[in-house]
Structure 1
Amino acid sequence: PALPPEARGFVDARGHRGLRSLVVLTLIAAAVAYWGSDYYFRSHTDVPVDERVVIVLLIWGAAALAMAMVNRFLRLKLLSPLAERVVFVMIPPLALIFLVLGTIFIGVATPTEGGAMGAIGALIMAVSRGRFSMKQLRQAMESTARLSCFVVFILVGSTIFSLSFRGINGDIWVEQLLLHVPGGEIGFLIVVSLMTFFLAFFLDFFELAFIIVPLLGPVADKMGIDLIWFGVLLAVNMQTSFVHPPFGFALFYLRSVAPKEDYRDRVTGKLIAKVTTAQIYWGSIPFIIIQILMVAAVLAFPGMVTHYKSDAPTVDPASVTFGQDSAYGQDGYGAGDAGAAFQ
């Protein structure tokens, strides 16, 4: 449920909303991001466009946060309370997202290292807000260890199932069944997409990735389907498992933070209704529709994924020659770069 109308508009003691201050802060931070990124890209000219966008946004957020912190600690009173609140509420979570995903996106960290950086960032945020305690740290570590054990057992169980299924030639049966689906390649892709979407109601991403994908990959390879594009198609489809009722992980996350009982709003003092599980389920439907549209877009426009092939270097087989190195050892075998050398 939305906040009551009285709590949606922020007004300071002077009766001002502070939107002008927020707009000015945004423009100044954008100017700093523009000039800072321009100076950085002068010495790094080979940065791709997508990474440039991430770096510009990083500089923009850092500039806004730095100005808000200087204004608060030096008591300059140049920013309105609304502008300060927006910066201190939005920028730290965005910085945490950058530590996890942004560092992976620009190639600074691997997925495992990105998770570690996100954990460090969360600890820093907890300490800076005065909410860090050994009890919470222990609870977080126990929850992480428990979840990791669950994932490992899921992987072990899926591996045992796959081996048993292959032992009775079940993979061959599935392969022949999918190879003879009416419609050829298009029919196969539609059936696979519908099957993955349906199974996501009951299985999460891990089971789908370790049980279903090994059965579908060989069939796609025999049909001549680009495996990278096929993997992206399955990944986008399997993302729906996070928001699928009734076992979606994201739904449980929302259930854990949403109020289970009616509560009184601290700003207006009014009683706010609780958030029910049915409301969370209904709220996930628009996101499921977005995922379905994304799957349809990947199916209809494969170039969204396979654009990397247009930049691949082409080799004319007629121009390839083979030469033999003249350096041989005493035993008669090549000791240096003997073998076929591409020229």
Structure 2
Amino acid sequence: MILLLLFLCLFVTLLLGFPVAFTLAGISLLFGYFTFGTDIFYLLPLRIYGTMNNQILIAVPLFIYMGVMLEKSGIAQRLLQTMAILLGRLKGGLAISVAIVGAMLAASTGIVGATVVTMGLMSLPAMLNRGYDKKYATGIIAASGTLGQIIPPSIVLILMGNVMNISIGDLFVAAVIPGVALVTLYILFVYIYAVLNPEKVPHYSQEEIQQFKSELSYKSLLNTFVLPFLLIIAVLGSIFLGIASPTEAAGIGALCATILTLFEKKLTWKVMKDAAYESGHLSSMVFMILVGATAFGLVFRGLGGDEMLVHFIQQANLSPYAFLAIVMLGIFITGFFIDFIEIIFIFIPVVTPIFLLYDMNLLWIGILISLNLQTSFLTPPFGFSLFYLKGVAPKSIKTSDIYKGILPYIGIQLILILIVVLFPEIVTWLPGYLND
């Protein structure tokens, strides 16, 4: 009864709009005090110190800084413009370039909100000016912007690895094939749609392409493509080759992003100040939620919640896949209402012991949950990515346009989740191959 009351209080206060971090910590302290007495004030600081002492978490503010700095360098905007012209002869060439640039931004930053906003500001006006259908344009932008949930160096994967106590490097490697498959499916869809609906997806004229190419030098073309690839190789290459840990690679990425901004002659004092402020703000939010979730986890386990859950699952006699289906559905629905950070810190520690009890591969489970969280980020009516895009979209774009435009991509992601469930080797093969 106490556990049910704990969850009920937490759920009600979150729906009322109270800050997640302080809600978690405040309710946990209240229940902890009435359950354990003043011992809670001795146990909680020790638990928080043990969590914050984890050096893996240093990667979070470094990757956030890298993403913010890359956004301010202007590299991504030039990359999108150049690729759109180079793919201009293809049906839906601009939409294809949005998917590719979204994947590259995801591989460079791992921050979903920043990527959706950046892609919306850069590509949505260009697509609308070319006469693209509103639903078609907003759908590919929102879907591509959330690729940072699954494509390394994803903040989701870093936090997931920390909570599930599995190698973040292995998670990064395991996410490569599903991430590439998702981008490929996006590109196939936008191309097929453009072929079937040419009136809704106009392409660049031959004159426009020739004019742009005449103004494009080999040096600027080289800089446009080489600089982002250098950053991706520096971060992911150092991890995959075993040269650096994810934390060390985050430091490399932060330094390289600063150097690229300097190379682009955008590294002013104001840019440095803004990047430091935004990085500090986002990092503080993440770690305050982590503190609140740590308090919640301490009280939940102290009340025997994990043991009760294991007992309930055993009594229900669920098969491993039935339990997996329940967890995936629960996370999918919860993702409508709260951010992925809270889901990872609140729910994943509760269900991980059950997956271990069933002897299921946690690497595979982690990638499935990441794909699931990405899908919930896109699903109306509460998908966070849809709100991010609406916030930067012109007034001519209605919320219903964004909702309708994203539906095909939700279907694509659900299909990919089903494929990964049926064929776990998609996730486990590459880490196993590199570790042999």
Q: Report how far residue 150 of structure 1 moved.
A: 0.9
Q: Could you report, residue by residue, the CA deviation over 1:69-95 in whole angstroms, capped at 9, with x for unpaired residues? A: xxxxxxxxxx85346455443332333
Aligned to 2:414: 292
Aligned to 1:224: 359
Q: Could you report, residue by residue, the CA deviation over 1:24-83 in whole angstroms, capped at 9, with x for unpaired residues? A: xxxxxxxxxxxxxxxxxxxxxxxxxx9xx9xxxxxxxxxxxxxxxxxxxxxxxxx85346
CA 1:259 to 1:185, structure 2 compared with 1: closer, same or farther past 3 Å?
closer
Q: Report how far residue 141 of structure 1 moved.
A: 0.2
CA 1:279 to 1:80, structure 2 compared with 1: closer, same or farther past 3 Å?
same
Aligned to 2:215: 81
Matched, 1:131 2:131: no
2:336–2:377 CA contact under 8 A, matched in 1:
no
CA 1:227 to 1:89, structure 2 compared with 1: closer, same or farther past 3 Å?
closer
2:293–2:346 CA contact under 8 A, matched in 1:
yes
Q: Report how far residue 140 of structure 1 moved.
A: 0.7
CA 1:259 to 1:210, structure 2 compared with 1: closer, same or farther past 3 Å?
closer
Aligned to 1:119: 254
1:101–1:114 CA contact under 8 A, matched in 2:
yes
Aligned pairs, how many? 231
CA 1:182 to 1:279, structure 2 compared with 1: closer, same or farther past 3 Å?
farther
Structure with higher RCO (Cα < 8 A, 6+ apart):
2
User: Aligned-residue CA RMSD in angstroms?
Assistant: 3.6
Aligned to 2:303: 168
Alignment counterpart, residue 159 of structure 1, candidates 261, 272, 294: 294
Matched, 1:304 2:426: yes
Aligned to 1:73: none
CA 1:140 to 1:260, structure 2 compared with 1: closer, same or farther past 3 Å?
farther
Q: Report how far residue 157 of structure 1 moved.
A: 0.6
1:204–1:248 CA contact under 8 A, matched in 2:
no
Q: Distance in 2 between matches of 1:148 and 1:304?
A: 32
* Equivalent AA in structure 1 for residue 319 of structure 2: G
Calculate the TM-score normalised by the size of structure 1: 0.56
Matched, 1:90 2:225: yes
Q: Distance in 1 between matches of 2:287 and 2:321?
A: 35
Alignment counterpart, residue 313 of structure 2, candidates 144, 167, 178: 178
CA 1:285 to 1:229, structure 2 compared with 1: closer, same or farther past 3 Å?
same
Aligned to 2:285: 150
SS at match of 1:218: helix
Matched, 1:99 2:234: yes
Q: Report how far residue 160 of structure 1 moved.
A: 0.9
2:231–2:253 CA contact under 8 A, matched in 1:
yes
Q: Could you report, residue by residue, the CA deviation over 1:151-171 in whole angstroms, capped at 9, with x for unpaired residues? A: 111001111111112222222
Aligned to 1:43: none
CA 1:215 to 1:148, structure 2 compared with 1: closer, same or farther past 3 Å?
same
Q: Could you report, residue by residue, the CA deviation over 1:102-141 in whole angstroms, capped at 9, with x for unpaired residues? A: 4333333322233222222322232222222101110110
CA 1:208 to 1:5, structure 2 compared with 1: closer, same or farther past 3 Å?
closer
SS at match of 2:350: helix
CA 1:206 to 1:125, structure 2 compared with 1: closer, same or farther past 3 Å?
same
Q: Distance in 2 between matches of 1:221 and 1:278?
A: 42
SS at match of 1:96: helix
Q: Report how far residue 246 of structure 1 moved.
A: 6.4
CA 1:226 to 1:115, structure 2 compared with 1: closer, same or farther past 3 Å?
closer
1:229–1:306 CA contact under 8 A, matched in 2:
yes
Alignment of 1:1-343 (within 5 A): 1=124, 2=127, 4-5=129-130, 80-82=214-216, 84=218, 86-181=221-316, 184-244=319-379, 250-251=385-386, 254=389, 258=392, 260=394, 279-307=401-429
Taking only the aligned residue pairs, the percentage that are identical comes to 36
CA 1:309 to 1:171, structure 2 compared with 1: closer, same or farther past 3 Å?
same
* Equivalent AA in structure 2 for residue 233 of structure 1: L
The structure richer in helix per residue is 2
2:386–2:403 CA contact under 8 A, matched in 1:
yes
Q: Report how far residue 255 of structure 1 moved.
A: 5.7
2:364–2:428 CA contact under 8 A, matched in 1:
yes
CA 1:114 to 1:311, structure 2 compared with 1: closer, same or farther past 3 Å?
closer
SS at match of 1:203: coil
Q: Distance in 1 between matches of 2:432 and 2:387?
A: 40
Q: Distance in 2 between matches of 1:240 and 1:82?
A: 38
| Structure 1 unmatched ranges of 5 or more | 8-49, 54-78, 262-273, 314-343
Larger Rg: 1
| Structure 2 unmatched ranges of 5 or more | 1-123, 133-172, 177-212
